[in-house]
């Protein structure tokens, strides 16, 4: 079983503070009745980030030198392992990844049905 752990770094807190300050400047220029700053503090916690869309971990790519899966989300090292989901992304695209995840899952399922089942345990892409 794989366990991944991560947390905000000091630099990420500083970047967040910077953006919060810039947003507050824009808000103040609009002359609001009230401004409430909500700075990110402490460790990462899943509770307030239910829609964060975390990505990465088993990156998709053209070569086993710099990726974990091929374009069909098949592991380069273990041909009968297909890793579907946003884990294939090298970064978050900045919006909801569900459509892309679904398209990649369909692409992988189609390749599994059309190619892999005819020659199980074989790579769909040669490294």
* Residue 107 annotated in active site: no
26 in the Ramachandran plot: left (φ > 0), alpha (ψ -120 to 50) or beta? alpha
| Contact between 81 and 107 (Cβ < 8 Å) | no
| Contact between 39 and 3 (Cβ < 8 Å) | no
Which position among 13, 53, 107, 121 bears the catalytic label? 53
* Catalytic center residues: 53
């Amino acid at each position: 079983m794989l366990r991944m752990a991560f947390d905000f770094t000091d630099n990420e807190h500083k970047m967040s503070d910077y953006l919060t300050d810039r947003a507050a400047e824009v808000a103040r220029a609009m002359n609001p009745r009230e401004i409430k700053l909500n700075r990110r503090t402490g460790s990462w916690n899943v509770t307030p980030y239910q829609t964060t869309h975390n990505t990465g971990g088993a990156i998709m790519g053209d070569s086993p030198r710099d990726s974990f899966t091929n374009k069909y989300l098949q592991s380069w090292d273990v041909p009968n392992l297909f890793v579907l989901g946003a884990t294939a992304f090298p970064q978050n695209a900045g919006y909801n990844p569900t459509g892309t995840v679904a398209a990649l899952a369909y692409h992988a399922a189609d390749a599994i049905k059309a190619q892999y089942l005819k020659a199980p345990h074989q790579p769909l892409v040669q490294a």
